[in-house]
Amino acid sequence: MAELQPLFETKQAKGRAAFRVFTATVFAGICLMLVYRFLHIPRGKEEGRRTGIGMFIAEVLFSFYWIITQSARWNVTHNFPFIQRLSQRYEHKLPGVDVFVCTADPIMEPPTLVISTVLSVMSVNYPPEKLSVYLSDDGGSEFTFYALLEASHFSKFWIPFCKKFKVAPMSPEAYFSQQPDEKNVIQVEERLAIKKKYEDMKHQIESIMAKGSISEEVRSQHKGFSEWYNSEVTKQNHQSIVQIIIDGKDTNAVVKEGGRLPTLVYMAREKRPGWPHNFKAGAMNALIRVSSEISNGTIILNLDCDMYANNPDAVREALCFFMDEKRGPEIAFMQHPQSYNNITKNDLYSNCAHVVHQVELAGIGGYDAALYCGTGCFHRRESLSGAKYSKDCGEHKNLEAKEIDERTVDELEKTSKILASCGYEKDTAWGKEMGLLYGCPVEDIVTGLAVQCRGWKSMYYNPDRRAFIGVAPSTLDTQLVQFKRWSEGLFQIFFSKYCPFIYGHGKIKVGAQMGCCVYLLWAPVSLPTLYYMIVPPLCLLHGISLFPKVSSPWFIPFAYVFIARNVYSIIEALNCDSTLKGWWNLQRMLVIRRTTALFFGFVDVILKQLGISQTAFALTAKVVTEDVLKRYEQEVMEFGSSSLMFTIIATLAMLNLFSLVSAIFKMIFLDFGALEKLVFQVILCGLTVLLNFPIYEALFIRKDKGSLPFSVMFKSIAIASLACLIPVN
């Protein structure tokens, strides 16, 4: 019997040998730099000893982190599924798929945005009787429930339209924002008709949201509204609510052409004061339990509420990994990169992370590992239930569709409400050994690591057509809050028992352990960055040299490492579909993130380790005002407040500006010969000033609402001026 062709293949990236040779030369240069630093630390009571020791420590930390980052580039691989082979072999044995969509606040995450995501996944190219979509509403909002009910009616028209014309993206909001294909007259006509239905539905939802109440006439349309008859139902205090809005087993649940509809379920887990709800991880675990009672799909896809489906075949592509006869049984999850539909031409805030998605995460994939990023991820249900991998555990037979449950909708809802109650997890393994793990702001990363340490493998898949697309932060403040939460949670993992070098020892490959730490060590890398942003400019101001003279042989390794790393970084970014200005924006954002959000994340973790602080979760808004959006589209940085982070950004910008101007003045009018020993600091300070041009613009030139307030300008100038008076030694 001929061996079956694989359902996916893995290919190594090109140019690995050349990259490794290049990396070796940079490593040699870094070693020479550290030798110079060590040999030139002032001895005893010589002037500049503390500064010299600080520079040595900062460069040791930078060097260590650079070595860690190279692990994610050492063995880059790419995966390619074959959905035609899947259809040929398993079209009638496809497993059940449960899709989890999570939302938490109807104001910050508008119901119209949420239902666009829900409608998009209901419309994927997959048998509807094997597809179930669950919406977890941690806000317990009747407005979100109402919007989902309206979406269920609209789906009877939207799903057949998507499948008839192979629509992509399947989010109505995203689809109708595109220019129509005028070649197909029938499609244009039907498009206009269904667009009218969508806009009417959207207007109705927004009108009820604006009114702030739902009429009795609307409430009478579905029994689920009875859950909100009690006026005491609030976001943080409500009973468990489970409503099966569309029962996929019901032969009457059909679209207008007669085809079946996927199951659609609304869930709001119980919340009570004094009971821990564990944020998104708690919602996901409640969804795992509730879905196991209603549909029990073998494969789970979880999405954020703004991450709509963009590829009709995304589910089938994922199944190629899970159902491959040879490698599939050991795969626990398959992660997609996070993509966004609102990225500016030059990626103003570096949201897109081209290199991270196309190189670093693919490089971790070279070690049979992946980072679970919390959205756009397909899971094997049993791997999330605490099971350790064994040959029996991942057997191919377990992926086949389960028998149909004969219980009624009311019976299923009643049983499911118990599973979503706040006391259900008490004295159980949920959050410890089962489901997503608790106690960390980045529950996704630590859960993925724990799953892989139980013997499972994972895959990273970056398709040509993006599978899921979301909304990126369009203000600097929102992004920094997001990065603070991420860096804090990631560094907590490094300090915990789940540190990859300890927990993963002997369980996952060393390269995968190091690859995880590229992100786990975001927070501490803020320290050498802050040192470099403060000490070299101050030393330049006082005429103190920190680097070799241009005429010294020791200058060569410093110059080589600086030029080689930046040139390679530019080439890497351009090869990953970025632009030169996009790369420049990334350098600015790296400095801003490290000196503010990542530093605060570091401080919070240290305080938590000392028992002074507690873990918190910050929800980021998905909508902005029109003037903010206009500035974002014009690639103008958004400030508009006097937050501590913005004060730090402005102060560091002013300090570097003062130092550069003062040094240039002294060299021109007093001592031009000093340039030879200070040239490296002049270059570093000059580049920092150029990076900070949007900051100076927001401080002194711009007059719009997104500029920096006068209070920030005053404080930054005052603090930077005082810093210039501090003696450096």
Distance CA 443, CA 449 (A): 10
Tokens 């390794």 map to which residue?
Answer: 557
Pairing verdict, β 377-380 and 331-335: antiparallel
User: CB neighbours (10 Å) of residue 91?
Assistant: 10
- CA-based torsion, 301, 303, 308, 311: positive or negative: negative
Confirm whether 405 is a catalytic residue. no
Pairing verdict, β 97-103 and 263-268: unpaired
Length of the chain: 729
State which H helix or E strand residue 378 sits in: strand 377-380
Distance CA 101, CA 265 (A): 10
- Class of residue 620 by CB neighbours under 10 A (exposed 0-12, middle 13-18, buried 19+): middle
Q: Which of 138, 304, 306, 313 is catalytic?
A: 138
* Phi, psi at 27, each rounded to 5°: -60, -40
Confirm whether 444 is a catalytic residue. yes
- Long-range CB pairs of 389-396, under 8 A, 24+ apart, other chains included: 389/330, 389/332, 389/454, 389/455, 389/456, 389/457, 390/455, 391/329, 393/329, 394/328, 394/329, 394/330, 394/331, 394/456, 395/329, 396/323, 396/325, 396/328, 396/329
Report the DSSP beta bridge partners of residue 103. 137
Q: Which of 98, 304, 368, 444 is catalytic?
A: 444
| Nearest residue to 322 (alpha-carbon basis) of 80, 92, 8, 3 | 8
Report the DSSP beta bridge partners of residue 274. none
**Which amino acid type is present at position 697?**
E
Active site residue ranges: 138, 444
